[in-house]
Amino acid sequence: MQVIILGSGSPLPDPQRAGPSTLVRTAIGDLLFDCGRGVLMRAAAVASGAGAFQALLLTHLHSDHITDLNDLFTMRWVMSFSPNPLPVFGPSGTAALLQATAAMLEPDIGYRLAHHDDLQWRPSAAVTEVESGVILDRGTVRVTAAPTDHAPVRPTVGYRIDDGERSVVIAGDTVPCAGLDVLCAGADVLVHTVVRRDLIEQIGLPRLVDVLDYHSSVPEAAKTAERNGVRTLILTHLVPAPAPGTEQEWLDQAIAHFKGEVVLATDLLTLDV
């Protein structure tokens, strides 16, 4: 199994960091978790793409985690040579999101159907709304969902991917919570979104300070990893983006609370599990 951070950024546009998205390569193929800004550009860099994804799994419906859903939906359609519905898993509201995306794209769908004689079907998605439990079980791969806490965003979910004896957890945006602990127990890798409380408080802008009450700080993510016996913690969705030369500060805040390996995400960071 392999973890590839396609996008390590946040809602704030950054020339070096695409929007939140993680690719997990498994025995059944590529699983995509969230689809933030620039996801297909980053996927192209690792020889993947819309047609290759075995499933898209959304942690929640905040805009920065679904920015490029329309691009993924369209490219899977126009780059396939027969009907190829996009399997999508996500919290309640995901089906409505896909319906709204298709409606938004209706002019484009019409243009392409009129122009390409060999394109005789419409784009589609096979949506499964999830809350908890095993949601995908195929071959050696099992994916489990559990509720997380990103209130007032509700519902939100995290995912655990087990492939044989290896396991990866995708936390999404959340504060420490029981659902995340269930997913993390004994995991090899935890991919966790984090914010720097100290820096955000120094900046002091109310709209930025607001993010502190529904995201985990670096120490909180580290404590979650330590409490659950995680082997490697990947810090991603970094707010604010680390200034050059300050990367070690982020690592030090985690190392103070976690005995395992800590990795600060960059786009296209690849980790063999």
**Rounded Cα–Cα distance for residues 72 and 166 (Å):** 28
Q: What is the largest CA-CA distance in the chain?
A: 61
Per the CB < 8 A criterion, the answer to whether 133 and 158 are in contact is no
Which residue's entry shows tokens 């990367």? 247
Q: How far is CA 182 from the centre of its chain?
A: 18
Phi-psi region of 38 (alpha: psi -120 to 50; beta: other; left: phi over 0): left
**Rounded Cα–Cα distance for residues 17 and 7 (Å):** 6
Reply yes or no on whether 173 is catalytic: no
Determine which one of 34, 64, 68, 163 is catalytic.
Answer: 64
Task: Show the beta-strand stretches assigned E in 27-69.
Answer: 29-33, 53-57
- What are 251-255's contacts with CB under 8 Å, separation 24+? 253/196, 253/217, 253/218, 253/219, 253/222, 254/218, 254/219, 254/221, 254/222, 255/222
Per the CB < 8 A criterion, the answer to whether 270 and 232 are in contact is no
Q: How many CB atoms lie within 10 A of CB 121?
A: 12
As annotated, the active-site residues are 64
